[in-house]
Amino acid sequence: MLARKPYLHLHLLVVLWGFTAILGLLIQLPFAQVVFYRTLLSFLAFIPVLLWAGVSFNVEPKVGTKFILMGIIISFHWLLFFGAARYANASVSLIGLATTSLWTALLEPIARKQRISKLEVFFGLVIISGIYIIYADDFTYGLGLFMSIGSAFFAALFSVANSLFVKKHHPLQITFFETGGAFLGSIPFVIWHGFNSGEHLRVPSLSDGGYLLILALICTVYANASWVYILKKISAFAANLVINLEPIYGIILALLIFGKSEEMNPGFYTGGAIIIATIFTYPVVARRFKGGLK
């Protein structure tokens, strides 16, 4: 039986994550610098959180290295995600994340040394069909979509790894080191972007600083720490299937904030409806087949 509270909490987190693409557009810094400041502020914010929670900063070097490497991987996710919003728009950057469930269906069994679930792959492919419908008539934002799908791959890898880490380590400890790794992972991209565009690292404006604090403290520290806790209760695939609502929540928010610049063709909304239907159908079918057909 699926627990209700973890899923309700997860929906709140998905709303917050959907809002990150909007914040990424509201902040006037280059997207690599957005990730740099987001991860730096988040890393610093986790220090008092761990002290307050009484969680040790000490981990075995081998374990700490794994966390940091996974953090570098999540920096790739954030860089591609915010980059997709800049090269396309918030709606495109969000909808590509719907492929996270398919990537997870392929990666999670490999990580757990299990056979790939045919049921999970089927639902993942249905979501892909929704994305196909969205762009069948209009592929204007192809590069942005490609970046967003790449972002989804790294998000799936991150989720699967954390579902394994959380069995042996404290969630706050994991997210602290991973955020530090994400900060380190963003540095080469900031330097590279500075050399290629001439836009070197600069101090955020007052408004950008406020948006960055929301992005770091609420959408990252709170949301990511809670996310790792939730992975104790439900599988990475089931969680990522709910996360497919992120583009829907985010698109609604983007339409309210940015207006016509976020309006899409009718196929976008048809594909979105397919994605939503898939999300709500999966738990029912999975229960009936006791976790999925193998």
Which pLDDT does position 64 carry in this prediction? 92
Q: Which residue has the tokens 């917050």?
A: 16
| Residues 231, 283: Cα–Cα separation, whole Å | 16
pLDDT per residue as tens digits for the range 75-98: 999 999 998 888 877 777 777 777
Give the N- to C-terminal CA distance of the chain in Å, as an integer: 20
Q: In the chain, how many H helices and how many E strands?
A: 13, 0
Please give the pLDDT value at position 292.
44
Using one digit for the tens of pLDDT, what is the confidence trace for 130-140?
877 876 656 66
Judge whether residue 142 has pLDDT over 50.
yes
User: How many residues make up the chain in this entry?
Assistant: 294
Interval 249-261: pLDDT, tens? 877 887 788 766 5
Give me 89's structure tokens.
């728009």
Per-residue pLDDT reduced to its tens digit, 194-226: 888 878 888 999 999 999 999 999 998 888 778
Model confidence pLDDT, tens digit, residues 148-198: 889 989 988 988 888 888 788 888 888 899 999 999 999 999 999 888 887
270 burial (CB, 10 Å; 0-12 / 13-18 / 19+) is middle
